[in-house]
Amino acid sequence: MSALYNENMPIFRNDDVSADTNVEHFCEFCKIFHKYGYTQIHAVVLYGYTNCNYLTGDERCPSPYLGEKNLSAIYNKRITDLSKNKFIGNNKALIDYLNIIPDEIALHGLFHTNYSKMTYEEQKRDILQGLKLLNELFPNKKVSLFIPPFNKANDDTFKICKELNLQISLDEEGSDYHLEKLIATHSYKLENNHVYRYHHHRFYPESTFWYYDLTLHYLDQFFAISNNKYVLPKICLLCDRRDWAHDHNAREIKHFLSYDFDIDIKYVVDSPILNPNDYDLLHVFFWGEEAYKKFKFPRYKIIKQVSSHRWQDNPLYGPLSTEQFVNKYLSDSKFVTCPSKILYDLLKEHVNNLFLIKKGYSSLKFYYKNARSGDLNICWAGNIKDPVKGVNEILIPSTHNRFNLNLASDLKHNELLDFYNSNDVFVVCSRNEADPLPLIEAMACGCFPVANYVGIAPELIQHKKNGFLVKDRTVKAYQEAFDWCRDHLDYIRSVSSKISEDIFEIRRWAVTSEEYKKMYLRCLELNKLDNEL
């Protein structure tokens, strides 16, 4: 009897096993299920590729065929033409492995085509041919289940399956749960006799699927937590208040690292009670914070984040030399992190356990939407009242009566996507910066950055290639930079999509959160070593 009727276990339906399945990673994938006592139903496509190894179009749709659209957007005939010479039986290592493991096999189509668009005769021909080939490839496994590609079927599909004594599995009436979403949202509860569907290849390192952050490690951690077999280190992220910059960062860190750590976010504005015994690490996001001190966290549990230069020139905190700053604000923490090489170079001679950790951006909130047109549009975002930013001192004088300048000082975070996508150039003219984060977000939307040598600007910008680095922080120097942008407007617009793609590869939170993970693990490791000594 099919595992679909096993009332004592969750039912795992793995779609899109095909000729291009990476056998090495597929074996790792299956072993994770077996490790926790689970088997799977593998939905096999006989001809064609299904793994998402390429990106297509401006919206980065994953595709198994280089230069082709996403499978769901390709017509049946085109899919068939692309698939004819790509037979899963030629992937002998995959077939051999599937034959020796206890998992079931289901038919997922002769080709990965939309059966609801096919006639009765076409469907029956393909299903019969698919069953014949599966029986030849897997002589010791009974194939009794048909899983229509794209979860699409029509009345003829059901009629044919009934005639052939095949069960049919579709995502209907809420009966199927999507495992990928559960993993991405950290929903750990698994229920018996529920069908959890997913696509194995989205968990592999070569996958271009990005809507959910999926890895083999996350899958393993998901099962470990679901089965109460793993105790996560506990970390508190201490931010100033909700919906401010530190909070956005903290929430992304929690989202992407919840399979590695048990993370709480606390806000100073709420006057939280913090018990040092509840946490392995306390990550203080603002180096000048005082609120946590009354709870007497031991020094070895504290990580201080230095993501501003305000100790150099702000009268509330300085001005201080680097040595004075470290002694006054960082001496109670064993670990320190900063986001830019400029800050790192300032601190490295004075701090023992210093980590250079890049901040990221949300690729779901910031991305390239459209090509620009018309006159050159220049933009800036941030706190216009902050004198460090140079808006009134540098930016407005350098654009006045010469260029279109758009300022975003009061826009909500979710309104910035359209703002950035309506402008050509994003400007940084600050006296000093740690990042700034709007630079990353604007570049993710395809803006061409013009910036002086502050924060991460020199780390991200290649002069006159993906941005413009201004040598002197003067009105004249910025006027010359904007003149160059106006004179090269066609070029600026031609590289917008590439700027977005490059930032996506190196700065989205799915990537940069790994640096935080390594830092936290290193801090815990150093504490363990110190205790052993």
Q: Given this model, what pLDDT does residue 173 score?
A: 47
pTM to 2 decimal places: 0.68
Count of residues making up the chain: 533
Measuring CA to CA, how many Å separate 289 from each of 240, 297, 312, 353, 417? 8, 14, 16, 19, 31
Strands of 468-470's sheet, edge to edge?
404-408, 377-381, 425-428, 448-452, 468-470
CATH architecture for the domain at 377-507:
3-Layer(aba) Sandwich (3.40)
Of the candidates 176, 149, 233, 158, the residue with the CA atom closest to the CA atom of residue 11: 176
Helix axes 155-163, 120-137, angle to 10 degrees: 40
Strands of 353-356's sheet, edge to edge?
262-267, 234-239, 281-284, 302-305, 335-338, 353-356
Placement of tokens 């706190």 in the chain: 383
Q: Given this model, what pLDDT does residue 2 score?
A: 42
Q: Given this model, what pLDDT does residue 80 score?
A: 93
Strand blocks (E) in 70-215: 104-107, 145-146, 167-168, 176-178, 195-199
Strands of 167-168's sheet, edge to edge?
167-168, 145-146, 104-107, 40-44, 11-17, 195-199, 176-178
What is the enclosing helix (H) or strand (E) of 284?
Answer: strand 281-284
Q: Given this model, what pLDDT does residue 58 score?
A: 58
Q: What is the 3-state secondary structure (H, E, C) of 30-66?
A: HHHHHHCCCCEEEEECCECCCCCCEEECCCCEEECCC
The amino acid at residue 38 is Y
Structural tokens at position 480: 């010359």
Kindly give, in sequence order, each residue whose CB lies less than 8 Å from that of residue 419, ignoring residues fewer than 6 positions away: 379, 381, 406, 408, 411
| 3-226 and 234-359, same CATH topology | no
Placement of tokens 């984040």 in the chain: 305
Of the candidates 196, 188, 190, the residue with the CA atom closest to the CA atom of residue 171: 196
Q: Given this model, what pLDDT does residue 212 score?
A: 87
Q: Given this model, what pLDDT does residue 67 score?
A: 85
What does the alpha-carbon distance between residue 426 and residue 409 come to, in Å, rounded to a whole number? 14
Q: Where are the domains of the chain?
A: 3-226, 234-359, 377-507
Q: What is the pLDDT of residues 429-459, one digit of tens each?
A: 999 999 999 999 999 999 999 999 999 999 9
- CATH class, range 3-226: alpha beta
- Using CB atoms within 10 Å of the CB of residue 357, give its burial: 0 to 12 exposed, 13 to 18 middle, 19+ buried: buried
Task: Identify the CATH assignment for 234-359 out of 3.40.50.2000, 3.40.250.10, 3.50.50.60, 3.30.300.30.
Answer: 3.40.50.2000
Measuring CA to CA, how many Å separate 52 from each of 49, 61, 83, 187, 322? 9, 9, 15, 25, 49
Kindly give, in sequence order, each residue whose CB lies less than 8 Å from that of residue 13, ignoring residues fewer than 6 positions away: 40, 41, 43, 106, 147, 169, 176, 195, 196, 197, 198
With a cut of 70, list the residues of the chain below it in pLDDT: 1-7, 58-59, 172-176, 230, 532-533
